[in-house]
Structure 1
Amino acid sequence: MILSISMQGKGHSLEKHTAEPFSSPINGIMRIFLEQWITFPRFVLSGHWFQALQSSKKRQLP
């Protein structure tokens, strides 16, 4: 889980629009839980993750 949260932090730091800071410890726990168990799996299963991966590869080519 620590590796997952660190990778999530790294990924979010690369986003054009950063997330707003946590308003409280409970808010932080809930947002991390929701992203890990609901938002990210839905992102992967919908195919958007693969599309984003392909798009990022095209931008990296010289």
Structure 2
Amino acid sequence: MTDLTPTPQQPGLHVAKPAKDFPAHGSYACRCGATDRARGDDNVRDLVAVWIDHRNTCPHR
């Protein structure tokens, strides 16, 4: 399986939660170079909201 971590060359959002009792983790990358990572269910939920906002406003989508 290939690495699913987003990069500016392969932009996107990746979120994983290996099991119910483990914390979620996620990361995003945009073509413009913006990147971020988070660990923990609440932090990942916030990361997704930031990604959606960035995706909707970034001219490099």
TM, length-normalised to structure 1 = 0.37
More strand per residue: 1 or 2?
A: 2
TM, length-normalised to structure 2 = 0.37
More helix per residue: 1 or 2?
A: 1
Greater relative contact order structure (CA < 8 Å, 6+ sep): 2
Largest Rg, 1 or 2:
1
